[in-house]
Structure 1
């Protein structure tokens, strides 16, 4: 009996097979290899890896495109997320709805993305909990997402068929900003993965513009604009070497720490307060790890953990410290054994022309810029073609309006529309398109006013065509448009940096072997000097025994020094601010620079380090609270005060002077009995008097009269100087000019030219105003003045030796601040 066809072996003779059936011999290894490679390519290209141009995976791109097609703009109402998911799944993304909704949720989370693209309404999850179901949440596009899809209707990118060839979708979005760098990405493909950290939009845009201007820019030049990632949840990045490696090779790692402060919880209890956590670490995970560590005896000295997080004040975890334990040592334990210090590995893999590549910072920026140059070029070509088409029609209309009677006669005497079109083309030398347009002309367009409108439109179209032709003929102008649009996008959507970058060493280390001697958790309390620039950057200079500070021969940015204090790594210092407050801090986490090559440009922004939230509050000085020299303060309203030494309370911050309403501190400096206190006013008056005329007072006191101000005047400088070596710098300007636009006229005079007067008097003239000048925009008194611009770059000062009441010379560029050289 003949066996059924299904039982035939693959090795049987095909001639014996039933009619209509074909059996092919296939090698199993080849079949598995081919199928696996096809699957791997599909996962890599169509699911897991982002495109280097717009920084989006296919599902994310399809979500944004479909939502824009649905009209879900920021000025429209939210719609159900399930509706968006259904549209995307049915038309563009034939995969599971959960994958689409997960991608939509991620695009809306401000703790995941640095610049969220979707405005979510409802429970879109947290770091510890997932989102609500799609039927319970609503969504629409944010303005940032509209910038990603702008100009799609102007042929700026290629459109490709969807999965069933019934619709089309963009192969890439125009992307008005470098989304891959700004928002980062993560994904696991077959045999490869990507993991990229978010960055600050303003910094990335600045680096991209610099690369546009200088395509040969080095990595160090680009890192001057993008020093490191800027994580949505803030925190502190420690150890920058791994970041530089990642920017150079596309692979690297760094450590992140929570933002913490040690504060008194009660009169007798100190606690560690956490206000920012490492990226993608939730508070519940931290609390769980702390409890596990206490139970396993890895963590000691912790009495309790309280979560005070709320919507108004944000994250706030308070860890209570037992009596007798050092909060700093406990904090080091927490860094070691809990996610308060976490690692992040960068693996910058993205698709370039459909091929996975590992890209460094420069390569990522270059791919994006090449994309934007192509977008601007295609957009300009599209607009040029449309304007040429419109100009062609307008010129035909003008011909018809100028001789409308003959046009009407030609049309009326024609048998049909085709004949009329042909005769119009012959009589008036028009094209077929122009003739068709004239045949559709409405009678109301025949007015004199319509003719004027058409002539105006014609002239405008010709000007626009000429501008577009000039733009397309000059690649440099195209690059200029790309840079200008990128700058405008950064100005519109950019926000200040949230993550602090430091060179401090990480606490995470390999576990000790059983029986090994316990390692001290204390950071060595070594001698150091803390330097603060006039631009607000602070560094810690390690000073081993016998070491001296050596400054580089070539000056760099931010080198003008505001103050320097000798301390220890774990010592306490006090920062004095313009709001009349003191803020205690320890320099342990400040960037450490070698004593033989001090550069303040490597420093951390001190106001970020101190956590100052008031944008108008400035750091004026740093002092050692254990110093025996009184601290002199001067205010804008002319008040002077010397703070008695040794009276600093143990609390982390507080008032150092009782200010009147509307007043602020303009200067602070240590001043012993031999110092001279100096005021300079906006109406060019300088007063100096001996410091011993101001008796030291406690912190609660409001000071005493320092200088008598003229009508409408205010103090612009206060300081304590050595009269033997001091010089006086003054810069005049006008109140009618925009701040920072007029360099002004400056002069540098010897301090000895200015006679001293008693406290609370009016002083002497220190600058003569020319016509149109009425105010001193800047004044400074001290030794060896060093001026920098608002960006920290060096500025040239006039020659010394001017008369005290001279008018000065015109400066080359505006001065931002003045200090002393690093010594």
Structure 2
């Protein structure tokens, strides 16, 4: 095409040569990478195996691989996928079989578990296994003896230039060879025309040199030579040697005659020599025609390429896909849904669709939410989207991040699976708290951490963006301290901290300055003897604080809008303690009824706080606090599930 139309555009060349065609087939992902390579001479293309999903059995799926990337083998791919499944890097595959045979050279079967999403598994396979590989594309050529990287069109033009040179040299060589043979044949034909004289000279000569010299002295009349060579041959001879009455033999022709025995010389066939001479004349004419113009050489290149295509062309095996081969974010493949996440004290985790928990009136027995041992109660229960990031804080002050959809989805009464199989915990490391976040993009959001000893620490949420298999340092814990709670804050928020003995303090989040991850924080509340921090929430003026005690009693208290700051400034040692602004009903009288008169006035951090609820014998110690609105539904789960 470039020979016929040297002005072809890159787009037209792409239509003719859309990309590489590998013998093992597969799919080249992303036309943009090819276009970039065609234009610049350098790129990286992604080659993906061809696979499809089949249904089999009852509600089961399997992935069938029918083409693999170039330079990969079926056995190597099967072995690598098996290793990835055993390492739990690829989830959802229950069995692997190689059903390849002569009829189907490639047929690799990957049976999926009943609850596995084929798109998710395929995405993992492309990400981790050799079912997707990359190839470097570089159009490197020697131009005038120097290596250069060329665009695709320049590469084709350079190939045509090189091919033109090759064909010109080849034709010149063939022309010279044909002319040499023609010259020899002309000498033999002259010898046949003077056979008696030639034989006499050879027999009477004392040496080869004498015979050669005497043969060169033979003069053949032009008329006799014309009859021997034919009109066309004689015309070419006169063109080469000029017009003369007689013509002698050249030393080369004399040597050719002397190389023959007398028997061979006598047995020379006139017709055979004449026929070969005629064929050589035709070849010489053709060679001279080819060399007479560049267009004739280009036409020969085209004819040879067409012949090559007719002999060896076959259907394209490799598909060129416009879809990029980038590994998709797993969240794109997972349907967003609301999940109830539970984690037990020993680290068994699961997620369950929230819609399986039906709303009930308070005071009932509830639904079975999990199967747990008496010694392994549920410590963490919250609602999150499958697309949320789950920040898992541990007793060693580290934080691990994972997507909620990476947790195993199980029935509401299932125990769950060990979190240590999903995250690389150190020996003895346990879950301290969890927090679900939609993302890390907002620079004005902070993660506020609270410890059992009443310390708080504020760190920009974006500092937790990195995902490391061995976790990040979240807080530097002092000896004997533990992480209790974590909340997401923004400038202007106010925090409420509550203790096991019913004390609470409210202070602006600005009282805690931002710190790095590897720090201990500052004092949030001053604890009384034997007291400990149990929770922390962000105060919502339109919501209430639900305080729950260990014996199942609780109450709601409006946050209100707060009051002007009073008490010690941050960092001072004053206690800032006091009673609530309005009379607080006893827990026995309020249970979980709203206490409309209660408000939490704003203080500086570090004080003792206000009385929130009476930690009486009937109520028990405070175990949890949560911010709720009137329209919210509350899901509670006991230690025994």
TM-score (norm 1): 0.35
Larger radius of gyration, structure 1 or 2?
2
TM-score (norm 2): 0.44
Q: Which has the higher contact order (CA 8 A, sep 6+)?
A: 2
